[in-house]
Amino acid sequence: MSWNDIRQLEQDGFIIGSHSHTHPLLASLEREEEISAELTISARTIMQETGKLPQTISYPVGNYDERVVRLSKEAGYHYGLAVGQQFFKMGKDDHFKIPRAELHQEPAWKVQMRISGIYSLGKKNMAIKR
């Protein structure tokens, strides 16, 4: 996708968010300076290209810890998107830990079950809620 494509999407009403600068597992980085750079370089680049600072950071592979949350806030983000198979309650849940469903190349029936909450991700295996 080119920056022209991204600018067009933004003009069409899509919200452009960040996914970090080089896509590392942010919580696995030892130095906070590295985490901060990943967050700020990406935000700055998006700002330069679109004229808008991104409000969201979608943590690569949903990987974050409390340092990543704190540094995301310091970088100017308003929302952090993690990975989790649950519903988010605005006003009750932490808006720097918003779950997003992983939708790999799965059959449509499984995607619908994930979205409905019938099919949830366990620690090791998928399990159907009863």
Domain ranges of the chain: 3-99, 103-130
Tens-place pLDDT, residues 16-29? 999 999 999 999 99
Token pair in block for residue 7: 């600018």
| Confidence band for 94, pLDDT divided at 50, 70 and 90 | confident
Which CATH number does the domain 3-99 belong to among 3.40.250.10, 3.20.20.370, 3.40.30.10, 3.30.200.20? 3.20.20.370
The answer to whether residue 78 scores a pLDDT higher than 90 is: yes
The overall pTM is greater than 0.75: no
Q: Considering only CA atoms, which of 99, 130, 95 is closest in space to residue 115?
A: 99
Averaged confidence pLDDT in the chain: 82
